[in-house]
Structure 1
Amino acid sequence: MTSSTAPPAPANPYAVLGAAIVLPASGHVILGVPVRGLQFLFFMVILAWVTAKIAPPDASFVGRHAGGFLIYALSVLDAYKLARIRHAQWVHNARQGSDSAHGGIEPHT
């Protein structure tokens, strides 16, 4: 006899997106990949420092730290993408499980 307990639902992608926007790397922590978030934070700080050193003195704050903001934006997108993929896989697996449990038609291979 096999147990048909479904895996728990993954984090809501919009909650992960909001957390990643508010606090960098928190979206990755919610997803269970804190090392990936830490890597993004590391490169965010390094590139912000580098661009601050090479930017002209009359550049704005965002202009002086553009490298850090670029990595921040990539970090937000990455966390959201991971959350969307995990949620889509969970929905797909849940649908497959309910189709086979209710006598659904299985696709031809």
Structure 2
Amino acid sequence: MPAPANPYLVLGAAIFLPASGHVMLGVPVRGLQFLFFMVILGWVTTKLAPADAGFIGRHAGGFLIYALSILDAYRIARIRHAIWVHKAHPGSDSVEGDAPSNI
């Protein structure tokens, strides 16, 4: 089984360019869904925000989904990496001399 993408590399890509972390993980449709909702909620908040709100305030919905997409891509990468480590080194989480688990 080949090594999965480094979770920190996925995190950096997701921060730098929205949905690129999901593309690196092989789930581009999920990344496109996040992009779609970023645009839609960013547009909705521009219509609902007060006129004196700043740029981030006017696009708060889009920034919320952007932050969630970063966390989602990193979470998927961490889980895949942990599974890969566990499969590559079975039994490494047990300490020598532990009692058998079937007692």
1:47: which partner in 2? 41
> What is the identity, as a one-letter code, of the residue corresponding to 1:21?
I
1:34: which partner in 2? 28
Of 75, 80, 86, which residue of structure 2 is paired with 1:86? 80
> What is the identity, as a one-letter code, of the residue corresponding to 2:57?
G
Following superposition, the deviation at residue 96 of structure 1 comes to 1.4
Percent of aligned pairs with the same amino acid = 78
Unmatched 5+ residue regions in structure 2? 93-99
RMSD: 1.7
TM-score by length of 1: 0.84
1:23: which partner in 2? 17
TM-score by length of 2: 0.88
In 2: Cα distance, 1:83 partner to 1:94 partner: 16
The number of residue pairs the alignment matches comes to 96
Unmatched 5+ residue regions in structure 1? 1-6, 99-105
